[in-house]
Chain A
């Protein structure tokens, strides 16, 4: 069966002033099924936001793209803007990082949620206004607040309104980029609960992009861990936590303090990610890896199947395979 959304060997380069090129996304592939909650995890600069903007066809002009993004089997990158724009907001919507701070301060929140409906010819006039009220109620905002301005909303309410706006054209896929990063933990819990219930009720496929592993652990079914523009490991969130097959995944979990893990050692990962404006030789994580061995500095590890629906790009897994073969 064709997946709902499928990215295959996606690459993104940014042309920098001075002629050099930054290879931000380096051949990543993933699939998304209807109603699935998928996490894309990584630290700043790993390419996760760029990958999302590629799917939305919203990269800046200095970007060039290779690879395919297939929606129900159709490559929406095939003819650039022409092939992406019919699907943007209608099939695939995105809540941008900091969306809650991106409302126009001099327009009511209701009018701003209504705008995409006009642009996409979904609804007009009274019907559009009623649709706005339904959307607001669905995300937990009283409908009479549609006539209010953004400054009259708290941060959590603005984020709910941003989600309502993304849902205006009834998409099948929602990309949420760090949707709770600036919010307090209680409001974060409210927003995550909302996203999960929307995914459930509308069979909405949710792609949660975040640096925060515990959020993904609590919300998502599957996740991919990105490092230096590549997917280091992908699998069920349970497998990533309990049986990680890439040292980066293991070390990333071990770098986060847990509420109840008292005396357990929490350690940062020494070093920094490689620069993406020059070629990377060998494994990109090798200089920071505590398990690097002979092939790592020179041979680039490919993403390989290591278990059921579990992939990792690490030479260690070849050793395990040889040992058990």
Chain B
């Protein structure tokens, strides 16, 4: 399938995604300028085969818009997205179709992402039918295999069930099976366990974990730093449409450099009640992405900001105190 097996599977450069926002009739009559939300404002990253990259950040940071842009589910306003070496930002719907089966998504809510009228088998078989793959019996074999990979064994126990007969964890396994049945090379997992009970989350995440060994690239979108810390190979922390820090997981978690990453890590509740370190709580909330602060967009909430931070938009570069050459942070103070 692959045309360029050596390079990264996914390369994103300077990606921008904006949403226009209504100014209303009065605004239009007054000829107010059309405003837009800069959900993703110039981000770059790459993802290799067999690798899991976690995009982490709070709501509104642009992590989901980034994932949707990568899958061409929303239109982008600038930058480049190369999948297996091929630029996909300008591709027409028909040119995109053969690529679609190579990139799949698992959504957050398995109660909404599955059609309640479809049996499990039909849900998983549908992508094969859409792409005209295989004979009926070949498709059945693929469905069974996908169910097994997703941990729903024996497949016969699940294949004729309806979603309402399944638990939340089982539904998410069905959604994963449906996304894997096409043998994609890239899987985007958008908060794959946040709707599920704590006791079943690890099972779902370990499926994604295991799929990496077969070369699958996983882009995981999550607000949960502990999950990212435990499963991802690399972490990119987003704030207001930008990546503010990125690097190998261990480096970002144990040696964070950007003040936002540091604050974010400090407020993650620890399991051990004896480990009650004082969280560094940032005041206020993330400003909306219509009026992005000048200079460094984090400066109004930053505990170490200096005058220069109001004017200089920092570039991602290797921080002085990093211990890994792949570690980057966008802060002039580190």
State in angstroms the CA–CA spacing of A181 and B199 once bound together.
16
Chain B positions 241-272 with a Cβ under 8 Å from a chain A Cβ: 250, 253-254, 263-265, 267-272
State in angstroms the CA–CA spacing of A266 and B226 once bound together.
11
Query: Which of B202, B224, B286 makes the CB contact (< 8 A) with A267?
Result: B202
Task: Decide: A256 and B225 in contact? CB cutoff 8 A.
Answer: no
Task: Decide: B281 and A184 in contact? CB cutoff 8 A.
Answer: no
Nearest chain A residue, comparing its CB with the CB of B58: A184
Chain B positions 170-214 with a Cβ under 8 Å from a chain A Cβ: 197-206
Task: Decide: A255 and B199 in contact? CB cutoff 8 A.
Answer: yes
Nearest chain A residue, comparing its CB with the CB of B283: A190
> Nearest chain B CB to A73's CB is how many angstroms away?
31
Total B residues in contact with A, Cβ cutoff 8 Å: 42
State in angstroms the CA–CA spacing of A43 and B198 once bound together.
7
Task: Decide: A268 and B203 in contact? CB cutoff 8 A.
Answer: yes
Nearest chain A residue, comparing its CB with the CB of B250: A262
Given A186-B58, A186-B264: A257 touches B272 (CB 8 Å cut-off): no
Query: Which of A213, A257, A268, A269 makes the CB contact (< 8 A) with B227?
Result: A257
> Nearest chain A CB to B300's CB is how many angstroms away?
14
Task: Decide: A214 and B264 in contact? CB cutoff 8 A.
Answer: no
Query: Which of A157, A184, A218 makes the CB contact (< 8 A) with B59?
Result: A184
Nearest chain B residue, comparing its CB with the CB of A237: B273
Task: Decide: A213 and B58 in contact? CB cutoff 8 A.
Answer: no
Residues of A within 8 A of B250 (CB): 262
Given A186-B263, A187-B285: A255 touches B276 (CB 8 Å cut-off): no
Query: Which of B169, B202, B269, B286 makes the CB contact (< 8 A) with A257?
Result: B202
Nearest chain B residue, comparing its CB with the CB of A261: B230
The reply on A82 being an interface residue by CB < 8 A is: no
The reply on B231 being an interface residue by CB < 8 A is: yes
Residues of A within 8 A of B117 (CB): none
Nearest chain A residue, comparing its CB with the CB of B167: A272
Task: Decide: A218 and B273 in contact? CB cutoff 8 A.
Answer: yes
Nearest chain B residue, comparing its CB with the CB of A185: B267
Residues of B within 8 A of A215 (CB): 269
Given A43-B199, A190-B281, A193-B281: A257 touches B226 (CB 8 Å cut-off): yes
Residues of A within 8 A of B23 (CB): none
> Nearest chain B CB to A235's CB is how many angstroms away?
11
State in angstroms the CA–CA spacing of A187 and B269 once bound together.
12
* 11 CB-based A-B contacts, threshold 8 Å: A43-B197, A185-B268, A215-B269, A217-B269, A218-B276, A241-B272, A255-B198, A257-B226, A257-B229, A268-B199, A269-B200
Residues of B within 8 A of A74 (CB): none
Residues of A within 8 A of B169 (CB): 268
Residues of B within 8 A of A272 (CB): 167
> Nearest chain A CB to B163's CB is how many angstroms away?
15
Task: Decide: B59 and A260 in contact? CB cutoff 8 A.
Answer: no
Task: Decide: B274 and A238 in contact? CB cutoff 8 A.
Answer: yes
Looking at A156, A192, A255, A259, which has the most chain B CB atoms within 10 Å of its CB? A259
Residues of B within 8 A of A192 (CB): 269
Task: Decide: B197 and A212 in contact? CB cutoff 8 A.
Answer: no
Task: Decide: A218 and B269 in contact? CB cutoff 8 A.
Answer: yes
> Nearest chain A CB to B190's CB is how many angstroms away?
16
Given A154-B285, A213-B271, 12 additional A-B pairs, CB 8 A: A184-B286, A186-B286, A189-B279, A211-B198, A217-B269, A218-B276, A241-B271, A242-B274, A266-B202, A268-B169, A268-B204, A269-B200
Task: Decide: A185 and B58 in contact? CB cutoff 8 A.
Answer: yes
The reply on A108 being an interface residue by CB < 8 A is: no
Instruction: Convert A233-270 into 0s and 1s, putting 1 for each residue whose CB lies closer than 8 angstroms to a CB of B.
Output: 00001100110000000011101111111100011111
Task: Decide: B282 and A186 in contact? CB cutoff 8 A.
Answer: yes
> Nearest chain B CB to A261's CB is how many angstroms away?
7
Instruction: Convert A49-85 into 0s and 1s, putting 1 for each residue whose CB lies closer than 8 angstroms to a CB of B.
Output: 0000000000000000000000000000000000000
The reply on B223 being an interface residue by CB < 8 A is: yes
Nearest chain A residue, comparing its CB with the CB of B279: A189
Query: Which of B201, B253, B274 makes the CB contact (< 8 A) with A255?
Result: B201
State in angstroms the CA–CA spacing of A192 and B279 once bound together.
11
> Nearest chain B CB to A214's CB is how many angstroms away?
4
Instruction: Convert A173-213 into 0s and 1s, putting 1 for each residue whose CB lies closer than 8 angstroms to a CB of B.
Output: 00000000000111111101100000000000000000111
The reply on A44 being an interface residue by CB < 8 A is: yes
Chain A positions 280-298 with a Cβ under 8 Å from a chain B Cβ: none
Task: Decide: B274 and A257 in contact? CB cutoff 8 A.
Answer: no
> Nearest chain B CB to A209's CB is how many angstroms away?
14
Task: Decide: A259 and B199 in contact? CB cutoff 8 A.
Answer: no
Task: Decide: A268 and B201 in contact? CB cutoff 8 A.
Answer: yes
> Nearest chain B CB to A302's CB is how many angstroms away?
24
State in angstroms the CA–CA spacing of A266 and B224 once bound together.
15
Task: Decide: A217 and B271 in contact? CB cutoff 8 A.
Answer: yes
Residues of B within 8 A of A44 (CB): 197
Residues of B within 8 A of A186 (CB): 58, 263-264, 267, 281-282, 285-286
Residues of A within 8 A of B225 (CB): 185, 259
Residues of B within 8 A of A252 (CB): 198-199
Instruction: Convert A12-50 into 0s and 1s, putting 1 for each residue whose CB lies closer than 8 angstroms to a CB of B.
Output: 000000000000000000000000000000011000000
Task: Decide: A266 and B272 in contact? CB cutoff 8 A.
Answer: no
Residues of A within 8 A of B269 (CB): 192, 212, 214-215, 217-218
Residues of A within 8 A of B286 (CB): 184, 186
State in angstroms the CA–CA spacing of A139 and B82 once bound together.
48
State in angstroms the CA–CA spacing of A115 and B258 once bound together.
45
Residues of A within 8 A of B271 (CB): 213-214, 217, 241, 253, 256, 258
